[in-house]
């Protein structure tokens, strides 16, 4: 099975929020995991927004990645 991983699912996994356990199981059972071309841009945007709302440093955010 090929799984397409999007940024919102990745963030849920990193922060242990939402349906993160379901996403982790699906990733573990996938033969191949791919991401869209804009994945890195989306992750950077999410990190920027999270930093602004949670008052964390950029280094702290990317330690979670």
Report if pTM > 0.85: no
Write down the domain spans for the chain.
2-64
Concatenate the DSSP letters of all residues of the chain into one string.
Answer: -EEE--HHHHHHHHHT-TTHHHHHHHHHH-SEEE--TTHHHHHHHHHHHHHHHHT--HHHHHHH-
pLDDT digit string (tens) for the chain, length 65 residues: 999 999 999 989 988 889 999 999 999 999 999 999 999 999 989 888 877 777 667 677 666 65
Q: pLDDT at position 48, please? A: 82
Residue 35's contacts (CB-CB under 8 Å, 6 or more residues apart) are 4, 5, 6
């Amino acid at each position: 099975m090929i799984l397409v991983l999007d940024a919102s699912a990745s963030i849920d996994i990193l922060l242990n929020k939402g349906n993160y356990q379901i996403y982790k199981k699906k990733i573990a059972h996938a033969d191949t995991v791919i991401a869209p071309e804009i994945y890195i841009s989306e992750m950077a945007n999410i990190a920027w927004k999270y930093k602004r709302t949670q008052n964390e440093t950029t280094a702290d955010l990317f330690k979670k990645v």
